Amino acid sequence: MALPAGLSRKLGKLLGPQWVDKDPADLLVYQSDGLTLHAATPDVVVYPETTEQCARIIKTCASYGAPFVARGAGTGLSGGAISDGGVIIQLSRMNRVLQIDHRNRFAIVQPGVVNNYLNLQVRPFGLEFAPDPSSQAACTIGGNVAENAGGPHTLKYGVTSNHILGQTVVFPDGSIEQLGGTFPLAAGPDFSAFLVGTEGTIAITTEVIVRLTPLAPSVKTMLATFPTVAGATESVSAILSAGVLPAALELIDNLCIQAVEAHLKAGFPTEAAAILLIELDGEESEIANESAPVEKACRQNGATDFRVAQGEDERQQLWRGRKHAVGSLGKLSPAFYTNDGVVPRSKLTTILSEIYRIGSKHSLRVANVCHAGDGSMHPLVLFDPTTADGAARAMECSEEILLACLEIGGSITGEHGVGVEKRHMMNRMFSARDLEHMARLRTAFNPHDLLNPGKVLPGGATRGEVKAGVSIPGGSWI
């Protein structure tokens, strides 16, 4: 839809004209998020600095019947922060840490604060914000809340929802509400927890109260090398069955290893079919007791090498390899499509076998990096964007992989969200009645569907979805 006459001028009066952008060249930046196979162009982008400005923007948009979408760093991977026309409320100016209370272990931040920046601020107090998505050097807390982001340390410490105490939000009518508080045992329904993971379709978060976690007194990072993928996947269950709960338990397959070593030289063995990156944390005595069962589980499942990072530099190098594994695939392919699904941990061997079979069926290489301890899969489908059907075949391959996850009791998404990418698959996972309840709940808060329309639930159209034969320029899609 065309932007209503006078809306841009009104927004300029609210914020100052320098914070309202309609330049066509600038708007290209906002056509997509990290999932660039979906694209849509907004009519205008605005840059608020406070909760009150957000509320005034929303009230103005609502009065004109104009759709609006909140956006952070744009690192999302499901097309959730794109807008087909309308207004993007870009939250990058709202990037302040407002309060750190180290004694009570919480911080209050604006949504544009970068995940890793928050950790740099609180580590001098011996604390951290535990969720650590692989994009944590760029992604923002507001986006973590919207997608309920996870990361490698989810196995022990949980996802974003486990670390949010409260929020300040603006609802689609422009009303401001304080949800939750600075202590974890507030009375009444936890509406803040309800909003985490709703992908910006219920309200826009403008402040977040995050729980801070004490840093572990000691950390030990280990690398196990396997000649077969099945050996690595079976080791995951064996480690947990031994009564050990690692802080992180990550699997990286050979194709990802090749990319990482070509890009970073992280020290991953290039001959391995797969590796497990295993991290234990806690008291030194606790780690000492857990190390032997971990190594035994890996050796019994065929590990040909098991080594411990010697010193912090080597440990950080191994983690750089893991955190940059996805981006490193640009060394092997001009483009790749990232997805995420979840399976029961006991089905890791089954799903990885299926992933490789499906990739072969579509004549596409598929690399894998997994939060193996959670059964959270990240199949990375490599394709050639210069061919007529390259992108479409990659998406078909990816969709078939997700259906395989569902067939063995899993989910179509673990931490990247639904957005526009997977909404057509929601009815494969949920019943019509389930989806009706979801729609009714969203409508109760967003009755005119102006806030982030066309996302998550099936139905509705979003311009720019990939069709067979679409021409997409080269680059690494992550």
What is the model's pLDDT at position 464? 34
In a domain, 445, yes or no: no
Q: Does residue 226 have a pLDDT over 50?
A: yes
Name residue, tokens 């998406």: 395
What is the model's pLDDT at position 61? 97
Q: What is the mean pLDDT of the chain?
A: 93
In a domain, 224, yes or no: yes
In a domain, 70, yes or no: yes
Give the pLDDT band (50/70/90) at residue 3.
Answer: confident
Q: Give the Å distances, CA to CA, from 307 to 53, 124, 235, 261, 279.
A: 53, 30, 15, 18, 12
Residue where a domain terminates, one of 90, 119, 147? 90
Domain, as residue range, for 169: 97-214
Q: Does residue 463 have a pLDDT over 60?
A: no
Give the other-Cβ count within 10 Å of 81's Cβ: 29
What is the model's pLDDT at position 186? 67
- On whether both 182 and 261 belong to a single domain, the answer is no
pTM comes to 0.93
Cross-strand pairs, 306: 224
- On whether both 258 and 339 belong to a single domain, the answer is no
Q: pLDDT per residue over 93-108, tens digit each?
A: 999 999 999 999 999 9
Q: Does residue 468 have a pLDDT over 70?
A: no
35, 47, 69, 51: which is closest to 454 by C-alpha? Answer: 69
- On whether both 254 and 171 belong to a single domain, the answer is no
446, 451, 377: which is closest to 83 by C-alpha? Answer: 451
Q: Could you give the CA distance from residue 11 to residue 165 in angstroms, rounded to a whole number?
A: 32
- On whether both 80 and 174 belong to a single domain, the answer is no
Q: Could you give the CA distance from residue 36 to residue 259 in angstroms, rounded to a whole number?
A: 21
Number of domains the chain contains:
4
Residue where a domain terminates, one of 67, 90, 113? 90
Q: For residues 195-223, give the mean pLDDT.
A: 98
Residue where a domain terminates, one of 195, 214, 233? 214
- On whether both 346 and 399 belong to a single domain, the answer is yes
Q: What CATH number has the domain bearing residue 339?
A: 3.30.70.2740
What is the model's pLDDT at position 35? 76
- On whether both 22 and 83 belong to a single domain, the answer is yes
Q: pLDDT per residue over 329-375, tens digit each?
A: 999 999 999 989 999 999 999 999 999 999 999 999 999 999 999 99
Name residue, tokens 């050979």: 254
Q: What CATH number has the domain bearing residue 12?
A: 3.30.43.10
- Write a three-state SS string for the chain: CCCCCCHHHHHHHHHCHHHEECCHHHHHHHCCCCCCCCCCCCCEEECCCCHHHHHHHHHHHHHHCCCEEEECCCCCCCCCCCCCCCEEEECCCCCCEEEEECCCCEEEECCCCEHHHHHHHHHHHCEECCCCCCCCCCCEHHHHHHHCCCCCCHHHHCCHHHHEEEEEEECCCCCEEEEECCCCCCCCCCHHHHHCCCCCCCCEEEEEEEECEECCCEEEEEEEEECCHHHHHHHHHHHHHCCCCCCEEEEEEHHHHHHHHHHCCCCCCCCCCEEEEEEEEECHHHHHHHHHHHHHHHHHCCCCEEEECCCHHHHHHHHHHHHCHHHHHHHCCCEEEECCEECCHHHHHHHHHHHHHHHHHCCCCEEEEEEHHHCEEEEEEEECCCCCCHHHHHHHHHHHHHHHHHHCCCECCCCCCCCCCCHHHHHHHCCHHHHHHHHHHHHHHCCCCCECCCCCCCCCCCCCCCCCCCCCCCCCCC
Q: pLDDT per residue over 393-409, tens digit each?
A: 999 999 999 999 999 99
In a domain, 450, yes or no: no
